Chain A
Amino acid sequence: MVLNKKILNIILFLLFANYGYSQNKRIDSFKALIKTTDSLELKASLHGSVAWYNLARDLNLSQAHLDSSYAILSKIEYPKGLAQLNYRYAVLFRLKGQYKKALNYADKSYAYNLSQKDSFLMANDLFQKGVINSIKGDYKTSLKVYYNILEIYEDMNNPKSIGMTLNSIGIVQKNLEQYNAAIKSYNRAINTLKDTKYKNDLANAYGNLGSVFYLKKEVDSALKYLNVARELDKELDYSWGLSLNSYNIGEILIEQKEYKSSLVYLEEAYEIQKRNNYNTALSETRTALGKVYLKLGNLAKSERFLKEGLTNAPESKKALRELQFNLYDLNKKRGNYRSALSHYETFFAYTDSIRSKENTEYAKDLEAKYQSEKKDKELAKQQLELEKQQLELEKQQSKTRLMTGLSIALLLISVLVWFLYQQRQKQKNQEIITLKREQQVKTLETLMEGEENERLRIAKELHDGVNVDLSTIKYKLTSLLEKNNEVINEAVTMIDKSCEQVRAISHNLIPPALKNFSLIEAIEDYIGTMNTIHEPEISFHHIGDSIQLSKKIEINIFRIVQELVNNSVKHANSNEINVQASHRDDLIQLTIEDDGKGFHKDATTGEGIGLRNIKSRVDYLNAKMDFDTGSKGTSYIIEINTSELN
């Protein structure tokens, strides 16, 4: 749980840091995160990071942060953090010059990393030890350590670490005055680093090479390489390296007695070192500046620098020795012989001490520090980079996977939704169509029913009422007929006619055969009647099976025939009308044909309306109507599928 939170926070701050902030902003972000985070482990780590960042700037601030980190770590169980802290303490105390403490911490860190079998971190610890030993003057041990480390790095194929180690080896060799060996090492370092991005280490190598050449008294080569190093430093904005190389060049130029030019470089070095609190290096530069101003005859300035050097005296005996000597020289020039003598005695004491113990302590101190500090920083940065990259990668991967999954799911869902929607639409449309049709049918049925009912009513009334009365009257009259009364005869004839008409109307309205017998017989009756009444010759044929359907349907068909024949009789002016009904399988085919004059299909007169009526009856039957009209006559063909009836 806590670990997850830590990882989350790391991700957060890495992402935050990923916006390419400069170093300062990064530290600010770290500091902000220290305040806000709940994770103790993360807090401790962040203190460590801030401390690490300040190692090159402000050692006291750095130590403060390391102490904060320790305060947290001592309360929680986080051995890895503790080991890292120990390592940083080692570096801090080394830079401060407290070598015993430094070695102590380095051992602690090494012990943990050994238990974890982390060869990379083990190498780091060893490197620190190597540097410290080298500074202490234990060159043999330190060389051994360095070669150990070099092997580890060569296994890991890490050019940066290889380069750095070679640099360090070179420094030791230089200190042992094995100048050619040193030059070899440095060249190796340069070759390893030349085409990589590790320009800082490359600058170091060049600087180192320059120093060695100087020691070999090959001034031109020395200056050449030192300048190359300096240019790289400038490019990289690497203050530490720049100050050191400028200092070295300054020193060389002093030797060459080019004091004015030397001053330029020394001033540059001094300025940088002062700004960044590089105290150990600063004392050397002060000494050098003191020397130069003395040579140039600017006693005041010379004294100022030398005095500064005294007040800020480092632990290193060599530095102090140099100072003393220069103070002696200054006082000599000034004519303060007493002071001069006292200074010289101090100087001599130092010389002895150094010669016996740490003769080149300072040089190593500087150079080794120069190496290791850079290296430590780089290593840590590297680690951080790796972690960052890893997390980034993982995050990217999972992000991509998630996005792909989501988009596929989304796509599928939207397709499904669209599809379902379409289905629903179709269904709805289907329902609407069905409803409409049902509505239509219902309307038609209602209309037709109404019509039929009306006809039935009239027919009944005529049949039962008027007709009966007329018949009765006729009977009564005929019994009077014996008297041979002409008037009565006429009356009787008239009544007959009325009866006929009434009957005709009644039966015309509701064909009795339809109710009692069959459709075909009804049609036959109707045609027969029409034939008698009207001019044209109307014929009817029935082909195929008999027709037996629901009364509603049969009435409908009858009405169609009635209407069409009526039309033909009234408007077509024909001689012959042919009516035909065939029933085979499920198909009833009605044909009504005349040889009249035809008519316009689009007539909006009574004919048109009559046709519409027929059309709606045809629709009710789900039937097809085909009609044709011309000079030859008119013909209607209606096809009814009995399996498709309502």
Chain B
Amino acid sequence: MVLQGIQSMLNGNEAIEIVGIYINAQETLQHIEKDNPDVLLLDINLPDINGITLCKELKSIIEDLKIIAISNFDELSFVKRMLKSGANGYLLKNTDRLELLEAFKTVLSGGTYLRKDLQKKLLGQTASGLKTKNGLITKLTRREHDVLLAISEELTTQEISEKLFISPKTVETHRMNIMSKLGAKNSVGIIKIAIENDLL
């Protein structure tokens, strides 16, 4: 059904020629080299093989084949994985002719096509607090902050656990998390980086 829809959308355009239609991965692999398209619209949800795996494989066969993923899933996880597997673009199944053509244009000129909202989503994710070199540190939770203060007061794990009414194991977990977030190697590092970043 989707195929029909897309077909009908592209039929009107003289610039585009449909060279092949495959209904499963097997067929795709069999005919792809012979057909040698410029762009492949690849559904993630194929009956036999995962679209993501297929994408990787295809890319290894034909390097400069442009693959645009098409899917019902707008979840970032899917997007990221496809892109990681070498996809050059990601479209949702409710796409329209305009978007299709836009996508083709971008991809053929060497770019990566993502819908605006997907782009925003992706950026939003990456932006939210990964550690970068210019001192943008992951934000500590309130509990982690309490623990940090306690560490700076030179309290032992036991003492911290008693002070904050949590188990020593929990204290240790917090400590490890803090270390990970601040990028420190030990308690001393924790204090140092914390002070550098005005957390204490």
Q: Which residues of A contact B (CB under 8 A)?
A: 463, 467-468, 470-472, 474-476, 478-479, 481-482, 492, 495-496, 499, 503, 507, 511-513, 516-517, 521-522, 524-525, 528-529, 531-532, 537, 539-541, 543-544, 578, 580, 582, 584, 587, 589, 591, 593, 626, 628, 632-633, 635, 637, 639
Contacts and interface: CB of A to CB of B under 8 A. Distances in A.
B111 interface: no
A503 B74 contact: yes
Contacts of B169: 587, 639
B148 to A, nearest CB: 14
A472 B124 contact: no
Nearest to A532: B121
Nearest to B130: A541
B49 interface: no
Interface centre among B6, B72, B76, B139 (most CB of A within 10 A): B72
Most A Cβ at <10 Å: residue of B9, B129, B141, B176: B141
A528 B166 contact: no
Given A512-B73, A580-B141, A582-B173, A481 B117 contact: no
B8 interface: yes
A225 to B, nearest CB: 103
Contacts of B128: 537, 539-540
Given A475-B9, A539-B128, A593-B142, A499 B94 contact: yes
Q: How large is the interface on B (under 10, 10 to 19, 20 to 34, 35 or more residues)?
A: 35 or more
Contact of A528 (B94, B125, B142, B170): B125
Nearest to A499: B94
A513 B170 CA distance: 29
B16 interface: no
B9, B77, B139, B170: residue with the most chain A Cβ atoms closer than 10 Å: B77
Contact of B177 (A513, A529, A580, A632): A580
A480 to B, nearest CB: 11
Given A471-B5, A582-B176, A587-B173, A522 B77 contact: yes
Contacts of B173: 582, 584, 587, 589, 639
Contacts of B105: none
Interface string B135-151: 00011011100000000
B81 interface: yes
A532 B78 contact: no
Contact of B129 (A531, A532, A539): A539
Contacts of A481: 96-97
Looking at chain A's contact residues, the main secondary structure is helix
B56 interface: no
A578 B5 contact: no
A591 B81 CA distance: 26
A640 to B, nearest CB: 11
Cβ-closest 8 pairs across A and B = A475-B5, A521-B77, A525-B75, A539-B128, A513-B77, A499-B94, A478-B96, A543-B180
Nearest to B80: A521
Contacts of B2: 471
B11 to A, nearest CB: 8
Nearest to B124: A531
B143 A591 contact: yes
A632 B142 contact: yes
Contacts of B73: 507, 512
Interface of B: 1-2, 4-6, 8-9, 12, 50, 72-78, 80-81, 93-94, 96-97, 117, 120-121, 124-125, 128-129, 138-139, 141-143, 166, 169-170, 173, 176-177, 180-181
A478 B117 CA distance: 21
Contacts of A633: 142
Nearest to A591: B141
Nearest to A477: B96
A589 B177 contact: yes
Contacts of B96: 474, 478, 481, 492
Contacts of A468: 1
A587 B77 CA distance: 25
Contact of A496 (B6, B94, B124, B143): B94
A186 to B, nearest CB: 102
Contacts of A541: 129, 138, 181
A635 B174 CA distance: 14
Contacts of B125: 524, 528
A463 B80 CA distance: 21
B177 A532 contact: no
Contact of B77 (A524, A580, A632): A524
8 contacts: A495-B94, A513-B75, A528-B76, A529-B121, A578-B141, A591-B143, A632-B142, A637-B170
A145 to B, nearest CB: 104
Contacts of A544: 176-177, 180
B177 A525 contact: no
A489 to B, nearest CB: 10
A525 B181 contact: no
Nearest to B122: A528
A471 B93 contact: yes
Contacts of A582: 173, 176-177, 180
